[in-house]
A and B are shown apart, each in its own frame.
Chain A
Amino acid sequence: GQSLEQPSEVTAVEGAIVQINCTYQTSGFYGLSWYQQHDGGAPTFLSYNGLDGLEETGRFSSFLSRSDSYGYLLLQELQMKDSASYFCAVRVPYNTDKLIFGTGTRLQVFP
């Protein structure tokens, strides 16, 4: 089967740093993506790692280790607006690129 595991919930305070981990077991692997979803909204793309290492986009960074089937999303200088659910998704080869999503991590940022 295919599975991605993430913590169900993480809490932090404004200004802090939080890391959301994702471990995966999939048949094939092209890359790991992260999506953010606010309550009542649609998922929006945050970052992508196709190769091992760290990718930085402003306050958000994402890391991948293919040998460990593991990645994480790092959020720095947390703001209240970062309160949302975060999904990791593995891109697997198929007729078209297909994403397998994790069950999501709900991040609550407190003042």
Chain B
Amino acid sequence: DAGITQSPRHKVTETGTPVTLRCHQTENHRYMYWYRQDPGHGLRLIHYSYGVKDTDKGEVSDGYSVSRSKTEDFLLTLESATSSQTSVYFCAISERGPLSGGAETQYFGPGTRLLVL
């Protein structure tokens, strides 16, 4: 158990409002990721972090920002939500483990279902 929680688990919001999703981990992992999952697209990386205050963009970062002021928390903000941002959002951490021959394996939080009306 990688000790990852996400909040809220479900959210309904209106177009144009800002929304912040929180990812919290208890294992002191350095790397954290935000993905969105949509039918037909699999998981797409939004932003990731490789340490406190160290973040970088993924492949679908437009309209999103992130912050990481503490190791355990990684926040994803939709600056002005749009209907196209209706999705399931997953946070993940990565660690090297024996099951992956020492390579980094990603462990996912339970997800946040976001509906933008």
Contacts and interface: CB of A to CB of B under 8 A. Distances in A.
Contact of B45 (A33, A45, A99, A102): A99
Interface residues of A, number: 24
B41 A103 contact: yes
B28 to A, nearest CB: 16
Contacts, number: 64
A87 interface: yes
B108 to A, nearest CB: 4
Interface residues of chain A: helix, strand, loop or mixed (majority): strand
B31 interface: yes
Nearest to A55: B101
A97 B43 contact: no
B111 A45 contact: no
B87 interface: no
Nearest to B54: A95
A43 B42 CA distance: 11
Interface of A: 30-31, 33, 41-45, 47-48, 50, 57, 87, 89, 91, 95-99, 101-104
Interface of B: 31, 40-45, 48, 50, 56, 58, 90, 94, 99-101, 103-111
